[in-house]
Amino acid sequence: MERVREGSARRSALGNEIIVVDGAGRTFGRGNTSVEALAATTLEVYEGEFFCLVGPSGCGKSTLLNLIAGFDRPDRGRVLVQGRPVTGPDPRRLLVFQDYGLLPWRSAIGNVELGLEIAGIPREERRSRARALLERMGLSAFEDKKPHELSGGMRQRVNIARSLAVDPDILLMDEPFGAVDALTRMGLQADLLELHRAGGKTVVLVTHDIEEAIYLGDRVAVMSERPGAIRAIVNVDLAWPRGRTSAEFTHLREVILEHFRLVPERRAPEYSI
């Protein structure tokens, strides 16, 4: 695995490893219909880091995120979070679903309260915490609206508010802004960045949008085609606010794109069999 400018300075600045993926792989099915979704993968994510994963569609990004979230187990290797093997889902490391996963019969505020209900937080406290988060997300006027009455961007804001309500240490985001228009996406990205910089949470964000990864990430991991493996990890040492058109930004895009260009060449011989 090639690492681009992986600085040890960054490691100490960011603190300890909070997520360790140690040779973890996942194959679905058995026999000759089995699909190797994720090749043995090794990576570390540091506490407080904003870590982005980019890769082509179907390369195993969601599979990897599911392993970290505890919705699935690796069939090789192991996944450790805060030093302990992952055995199941845990509200301290929350998966933020791509298609929001909002409960359609609940209002926006009811959705934000879901995790707090499950945690057994009393009603009054639930309400006030949910209300504060919706306000932070600019959704105060919409707290009584049902999901189908909200736009895609608003739904994702509610989804993020719902995740933040239980104050997780780790947010695992699976292409969270894939289904919203470009301008809304930029707004959401800026908000997410602000939340991250204010909160000290660790974020692992999966995307197929290279620009999004560079805009948000402290590091960007590039995954190869299926079966996915980490092809490279690129440090993003850019100051905030990050201009998407600056020379450094464009350069990093080039660097990451370069990794993708390697993919078809390497795979080409296999197709000719």
Partner 1 sequence: MSAAPVAARGIAGQQWGSWGPRLGDAGLRLLGVVAFLSLWQAATRAGLLGEAFGADFGPVRGLRALGRMTASGVLVEQSSASLGRLGLGLGIAVLIGAPLGVLVGYSRPLDAATSVVFQFLRMTSPLALVPVALVAFGVGSRPVVFLVAFAALWPVLLSTAHGVGRVSPIWKRVVRGFGGGDRAVVRRVILPATVPDLLQGVRLALGVGWVVIVPAEMLGVDSGLGYQILDARDRFAYDELVATILAIGLLGYLTDLALRWLKERYSWNV
Tell me which stretch binds ligand ADP (CB under 6 A): 56-64, 111-119, 148-156, 233-241.
Answer: 56-64
Q: Does 60 bind ligand ADP (CB under 6 A)?
A: yes
Closer to partner 1 by CB, 98 or 207: give it.
Answer: 98
Least distance to ligand ADP from the beta carbon of 171, Å? 17
Tell me which stretch binds partner 1 (CB under 8 A): 2-10, 12-20, 142-150, 259-267.
Answer: 142-150
Q: Which helix (H) or strand (E) holds 40?
A: strand 35-46
Nearest to 46 by CA among 12, 78, 87, 80: 12
244, 59 Cβ separation under 8 angstroms: no
Starting at the edge strand found earlier in the chain, the sheet holding 219-223 runs 2-4, 230-235, 219-223, 50-54, 202-207, 170-174, 93-96
In the list 30, 84, 148, 261, the residue contacting partner 1 (rule: CB under 8 A) is 148
Q: Does 25 bind ligand ADP (CB under 6 A)?
A: no
In the list 18, 39, 51, 61, the residue contacting ligand ADP (rule: CB under 6 A) is 61
| Binding letters toward partner 1, positions 31-70, x by CB under 8 A | --------------------------------------x-
Could you tell me the sign of the dihedral formed by the alpha carbons of 258, 260, 266, 268, in that order?
Answer: negative
Q: Does 58 bind ligand ADP (CB under 6 A)?
A: yes
Measured between alpha carbons, how far is 266 from 273 in angstroms, rounded to an integer?
Answer: 14
Closer to ligand ADP by CB, 55 or 115: give it.
Answer: 55
In the list 62, 111, 163, 189, the residue contacting Mg ion (rule: CB under 5 A) is 62
Q: Does 138 bind partner 1 (CB under 8 A)?
A: no
Least distance to partner 1 from the beta carbon of 107, Å? 11
Closer to ligand ADP by CB, 74 or 110: give it.
Answer: 74
In the list 17, 36, 47, 99, the residue contacting partner 1 (rule: CB under 8 A) is 99
**Burial class (CB within 10 angstroms; exposed 0-12, middle 13-18, buried 19+) of 106:** middle
How are the residues of the chain apportioned to helix, strand and coil, as percentages rounded to the nearest 5?
40, 25, 35
Q: Does 257 bind ligand ADP (CB under 6 A)?
A: no
Looking up tokens 């999901």 gives: 147
Least distance to partner 1 from the beta carbon of 89, Å? 5
In the list 80, 121, 132, 166, the residue contacting partner 1 (rule: CB under 8 A) is 166
Least distance to partner 1 from the beta carbon of 34, Å? 22
Residues 6+ apart with CB under 8 A from 253: 210, 211, 214
Joined together, the tokens standing for residue 193 give 């960045």
Identity of the residue numbered 207? T
143, 126 Cβ separation under 8 angstroms: no
Characterize the bridge pairing of strands 2-4 and 17-28.
unpaired
Binding interface with Mg ion (CB under 5 A): 62
User: Which spans of this chain sit near ligand ADP (rule: CB under 6 A)?
Assistant: 28-29, 35, 37, 55, 57-63, 226
